[in-house]
Chain A
């Protein structure tokens, strides 16, 4: 499998804090890759760097061979590299269907598409995906009236609506009740298998990430600490120490 996303020696500092210190990793096409690490280890910073949310201080990020480090977030999103947020972000005062409709890919947008009305096919696809995440019955409710877990599911459905090539998920199961987590794991796997979307997932829930990912990277103090197959990372003494606070 060739790498669809390549991160090479990426460094990002905030003032004196080195949030990412020369990190290199690669995500093969069609895979599900995990990113773990204690709080404050630089996982979300790395995601932000990849999707162009802030400029990086050094290194290179390539998506399908194209250099991303000088592009802005919307441009990167239009290339098919999308992210979801740790603090779930949805359009609160719009209903679920509208949230889905505006999440259509914007790569071919021009001034004429501003006037576009949404065809029955688009609405059907939106409702189909809402059904996929179990929100069909609530599709006409405002997104802000959904529970936190449901908002996470909506955000995931919105990401799928965008037809991404690769999807960066920042803690997709945080705040979701345990019974729903199994359903979500199942849907993430199906998004990967059925829709062919490469997934790169930040996750704190070890059971979820061990179940989901084929390969795991572990960050600590802004540095890449270890990587390998889930069971190897899980038993790696350095990883255990990082999580339990040993130095």
Chain B
């Protein structure tokens, strides 16, 4: 696609996304649409490591949970003591003014993001030296460990979870509010990743994916790129988690925050479904996944997990490269993989002259 066409497509999608909450028939489903943005954020942030860099991480859910808890704790501790909060949360819940709510949310998200980046940098320097499957297995333990830790820590509510402050009435309904917040977050993340992939960072992590030994033999600072990639992933996931806690109101340590078996697995699936290592793959994969999943819940209730499992099998068997990967394989020339025929003719004629 050419430049203006692409620009038009981006603008069209953005306008559509902005208009959705204004369409009356869709308004009851705005929370579902907000979840869709969350799913897209999951897939995009996972794909930095798993797709573009070829390091399958099953531990990214840690950043999501850390962001969620950090935000909730900051929101609580800014205006309450733990005891006060426990009392009001049981009854009418903590009523905050708009300014208090937004300050808490903003500061909390920032704290969560900083924490997640620190954790990614520290953990990364330890385990990013591992390659391939060893790294994947190592990260598998991280999510589980984080869930267990959170379940045993009283300050953050331990096993009985943590309740986030309610959205003040002045900010309107929950649906449109969280829809727009997640939309903004998704658009920012997409834009940042698009920019990162367009420069040396993108090529470097692609090179690490294709042959890390070769990349190092060319002098590339592979460990630095890997760590930064994980930090970027952690940063945006923590922001997502921070808002997500406020959307669902109740943070359960293992079912919401460090939900490895659901969110943690889904982020991998969605990226693979759409096409690992492509800019649009995770977005498309997350959309297809979320829509199908909702469809299964509505029409195949009781069998929804089975249907989901079958879908995964079908995807892995028939579209191992994902939707975008399959398109690219099918029509490589549409993705710019062309032989320069003119240059080839010139070269052939030159060789003929020799």
Which residues of A are interface residues toward B (Cβ below 8 A)?
51, 72-75, 77-78, 82-83, 85, 89-95, 98, 101-103, 105-107, 109, 111, 113-118, 134, 136-142, 145, 158, 162
Contact = CB atoms under 8 A, between A and B. Distances in A.
Given A102-B204, A102-B207, A114-B204, A137 B214 contact: no
Interface string B179-215: 0000000000000000110111101101101110111
Contacts of B220: 74, 102, 106, 109
A73 B218 CA distance: 8
A233 B217 CA distance: 31
A48 to B, nearest CB: 10
B84 interface: no
Contacts of B225: 114
Contact of A139 (B196, B217, B340, B341): B340
Contacts of B217: 51, 73-74, 77, 82-83, 85, 89
Decide if the interface of chain A is mainly helix, strand, loop or mixed: loop
Contacts of B215: 91, 102
A103 B344 CA distance: 24
Nearest to A114: B201
Contacts of A83: 217
Given A74-B219, A102-B215, A138 B340 contact: yes
A5 B336 CA distance: 43
B339 A137 contact: yes
A136 B340 contact: yes
Interface string B317-354: 00000000000000010001111110110010000000
B207 A94 contact: yes
Contacts of B245: none
Nearest to A105: B219
A109 B340 contact: no
A85 B337 CA distance: 26
Contacts of A141: 337-339
B173 interface: no
B221 interface: yes
B200 A113 contact: yes
Interface in B103-143: none
B85 to A, nearest CB: 40
Interface in B214-240: 214-222, 225, 228
B199 A114 contact: yes
B21 interface: no
Contacts of B340: 136-140
Contact of B199 (A92, A106, A107, A115): A115
A98 B215 CA distance: 13
Contacts of B253: none
14 contacts: A73-B216, A78-B219, A89-B214, A90-B210, A91-B207, A95-B337, A103-B218, A109-B221, A114-B204, A114-B225, A116-B199, A137-B339, A140-B339, A145-B337
A101 B210 CA distance: 15
A103 B103 CA distance: 46
B203 A98 contact: yes
The 8 closest A-B CB pairs, nearest first, are: A77-B219, A137-B344, A91-B210, A137-B343, A89-B214, A106-B219, A102-B203, A78-B219
B52 to A, nearest CB: 10
Contacts of A102: 200, 203-204, 206-207, 215, 218, 220
